[in-house]
Structure 1
Amino acid sequence: MIVTLIVLCEVGFWVLLAAGLAFRYLLRMPRTGLALLLCEPLLEVVLLVVTTLDLKNGADPSWKHGLAALYIGYTVGHGHRTVKWLDGHAAHRLAGGPPPPGPPRYGMARARHEGRVWLGTVAAAAVASALLQLAVWYVGDPGRTGSLHEWMYIAWRAAGIHGLIALSYAIWPKKAPADEPGATSGKRGEKERAGR
């Protein structure tokens, strides 16, 4: 039942997102669209309540409960960024707004961007771990909660791998091609910029 609810929450997330954006930009009803977008966190609350009730009714903690915690954590850590990104594209495509700026592609600006995305993954791991630890305390039987501890490890391992990837952008920043505008560097580039 938990896995089915996770799937329904994911489908519900995209349905509410599509409906919210359609009301905002196609039907020109921004308040209704915003209300639909603000309903999305309720899906995670429903999942949290059902998962808690499942444990309360004597279900053994399993991978399903761990997956539910990770799903909620991911939504907290990355949901807002996803909605904002899609809202910018919808405003551009459906309402004639300016194209949303993409992430920086080169140098330390890209490294900072990747670091901010990684912080979302850290937030996701922290939320998932907090929920899993609460479940461990709620069950109160160390013999039954081993799988929940494993999911904490999975959450932080994913955050660690993502952190290494984000760090690689700072250690080895990608350089802009020489033929791209604004790609000049060194003394020549400084002189060009000073002469403008």
Structure 2
Amino acid sequence: MIGLLIVACEIGFWLFILMGLTLRYVFRQKKWGAFFLICTPILDLVLLAATYMDLRQGAMASVIHGLAAVYIGVSLAFGHQMVKWADARFAYRFAGGPKPKGKPKYGKERSVYEMVGWARHLAAWVIGAGLLFGLTYLIQAPERTESLMQLANVWGMVLAIDFLISISYVIWPKKHPQNMAG
């Protein structure tokens, strides 16, 4: 059930964004558009409550329960950025806004971009791992919640690998092809 709820929340997230941006730019209903955009975090609360209730009622914690915490962490850390990304494209397409910029490809701008992305990943991990630890504490049944701690550890390793990749752009910034001749 939790797996389906995660999928439903992801679909709901993008539907709320699509409705909010469509109302804002196509129908010129800024207040209603803002309402739907503000509703996206409600999905996180629904998912967290459902996960807690499922575990509290005796379910054995699985990776799916852990993915609920991962989803919430990523949603909170990256959600605003995803909304801004979609908003820029809607503004360009439907409201004559400027053409959205892609991610920087070279030099200091790319280094900063990568490190900001890693910082968001760190924030997602802190939130998600905090939820995993919190659920484990609230449930008070380590034999049923062991997989949650394992997921936090694996995610921590992924975060460390992401850091190594991101910091490599700082140590060895990619040079613009025009600046390489010489």
- Alignment partner of 1:97: what SS? coil
The answer to whether 1:8 aligns with 2:8 is yes
Deviation of 1:184 after TM superposition, in Å, equals 8.6
CA distance in 1, matches of 2:32, 2:157: 40
Alignment correspondent of 1:177: 177
CA distance in 2, matches of 1:185, 1:35: 52
99-108 vs 143-152, which moves further: 99-108
**Does the 8 A contact of 1:132 with 1:148 survive in 2?**
yes
Q: Which runs of 4+ in 1 moved over 4 A?
A: 183-186
What CA deviation, in whole Å up to 9, does each residue of 1:58-101 have, x standing for no partner? 11111121111111111111111111011011101110011123
Alignment correspondent of 2:85: 85
- Alignment partner of 1:145: what SS? helix
Over the matched positions of the two proteins, sequence identity in percent amounts to 43
Alignment correspondent of 2:56: 56
- Alignment partner of 1:159: what SS? helix
What CA deviation, in whole Å up to 9, does each residue of 1:17-74 have, x standing for no partner? 1111100100011111111011000000000011111111111111121111111111
Alignment correspondent of 1:18: 18
Query: Any unmatched runs of 5+ in structure 2?
Result: none
The answer to whether 1:100 aligns with 2:106 is no
Alignment of 1:31-180 (within 5 A): 31-178=31-178
Q: Rg larger in 1 or in 2?
A: 1
Normalising by structure 2, we get a TM-score of: 0.95
Instruction: Work out the number of aligned pairs and report it.
Output: 182
Normalising by structure 1, we get a TM-score of: 0.88
**Does the 8 A contact of 1:128 with 1:155 survive in 2?**
no
CA distance in 2, matches of 1:103, 1:127: 25
- Alignment partner of 2:177: what SS? coil
Deviation of 1:144 after TM superposition, in Å, equals 2.1
What CA deviation, in whole Å up to 9, does each residue of 1:121-165 have, x standing for no partner? 001111111101111111212222210111111221221121111
**Does the 8 A contact of 1:44 with 1:72 survive in 2?**
yes
CA distance in 2, matches of 1:50, 1:145: 16
Amino acid in structure 2 at the alignment position of 1:82 = M
CA distance in 2, matches of 1:71, 1:167: 25
Q: CA RMSD in A?
A: 1.5
What CA deviation, in whole Å up to 9, does each residue of 1:105-133 have, x standing for no partner? 21112101110011110011111111011
